[in-house]
Amino acid sequence: MVTMNVAAWHAAYRAFLADPGKWGDLVDWARAIPCLPIYRDWTVAYGLTSTGTLLAFEDDGPPRRHAATMWIVTELLDRNIALIQGMERYPWLRPLLPERPTDAVACGDCETIRLLQARMPAIICRCGGAGWLPAGASP
């Protein structure tokens, strides 16, 4: 069982509420749950509770609809993307990364994505940067 650094979570949560920066529209969600927003892509926002539960909601619709579209993130690819990208801001997330399954396969897209990132840094690989994909992931 992996334990999360709860003190780091609380410090980051307080800091986020004090200055959410470009994620100011996520403050209501962060307070309502409570959760710490750790990553957001074009359509989904990801947040972590103080117990280590990773949540997400559809972020491309009308404001304040997070309660209707929220779910617990269990898919390995989604967990990797959210946690690895979130580690750029919160390095203490590392222990929460999923272990690589024994049947995982190497991600064939990482090298190409690294080349593209030189010009478009916002692009991330579909493996989230883990370097592997779960068995059965679409090629």
More confident residue, 21 or 42: 21
CB 107 within 8 A of CB 81: no
- Residue 34: pLDDT over 90: yes
- Residue 112: pLDDT over 80: no
Q: How far is CA 133 from CA 62, 86, 105, 114, 136, in A?
A: 32, 19, 5, 17, 8
Q: Where are the domains of the chain?
A: 6-96, 101-139
The token pair at 13 is 């949560």
Give the pLDDT mean for 123-134.
85
pTM, to two decimals = 0.85
Percent of the chain with pLDDT over 90: 54
- Residue 49: pLDDT over 80: yes
What pLDDT was estimated at residue 139? 57
The token pair at 46 is 């990801």
